[in-house]
Amino acid sequence: MAVIRGTKPTRAVLIALKRRMKVAQTGHSLLKMKRDGLMIEFFEVLNKAKTVRKELVESLLKAEQRLHMAMAIEGTVAINSVAYSLQKEPAIQLESRNIMGVVVPKITADAVQKKMYERGYGIIGTSSAIDEAAESYETLVDKIILAAEVETALIRLVEDIDSTKRRVNALEFKVIPDIKDTIKFIGMALEEMERDNVVKLKMLKGKSQRRVAEEEAKKEAAKAAEAAARASA
């Protein structure tokens, strides 16, 4: 039996513990539901993350091949020159959303996918190999942003599932049994105290009855002595 240390076996503590027990049991069942819900959400996000990661790798390979192709066709000299004409870098906006109490990021980016005439270089003096490489890298950046969002959500979910699981286990195997034991202990202690009181009361009652009987005996004796004196006189 694991009793919570320093607990005083009083009725007030017992009431408080019973209240705590109720809260712990409600919390336990809620956290269990949250854990199960998070697990379902986790597997959904995991599947999405797997798909996104696969697409990311495919996009990366395609972008690399297209860049190498552009470098072969146009030369690094031309590619570097064209790369200098980049007008604006994509701006990332970070927001947050809530999945069952877990705050996960929502990443959006501006100006990633551009129309070919908005990339900053002249169309006439460049080639389609450059367009294709630029387009592939724009797609890749989009995939990276999506992967960052999904994978961060996955990590946050795992962390939250882990802490929820720990809480559920702590409640299930430590907090609730301890409270139960303590309640039992206090109950027993209180019963003991009650029995003790009954005995004490009984003893007191016997004592007072004996005192009353003695006093009555004394009174009877005094009365008898008075009657004997009156008779002798």
Task: Tell me which residues touch other proteins (CB under 8 A).
Answer: 64-65, 68-73, 75-77, 80-87, 115-117, 119-125, 127-129, 131-132
Which residue, 80 or 197, has its beta carbon nearer to other proteins? 80
- Shortest CB 171 distance to other proteins, Å: 57
- Shortest CB 91 distance to other proteins, Å: 16
Q: How far apart are CA 58 and CA 175, in angstroms?
A: 50
Which residue, 89 or 95, has its beta carbon nearer to other proteins? 89
Which residue, 1 or 72, has its beta carbon nearer to other proteins? 72
Q: Count CB-CB contacts under 10 A for residue 77.
A: 9
- Shortest CB 40 distance to other proteins, Å: 39
Burial-class residue 210 by CB neighbours within 10 Å (0-12, 13-18, 19+).
exposed
- Shortest CB 65 distance to other proteins, Å: 7
Structure tokens that stand for 139 in this block: 């797609």
Q: Which one-letter amino acid corresponds to residue 46?
A: L
Which residue, 117 or 230, has its beta carbon nearer to other proteins? 117
Centroid of chain to Cα 120: 49
- Shortest CB 84 distance to other proteins, Å: 4
Helix axes 11-83, 128-170, angle to 10 degrees: 170
Do 183 and 14 contact (CB within 8 A), yes or no?
A: yes
Which residue, 121 or 137, has its beta carbon nearer to other proteins? 121
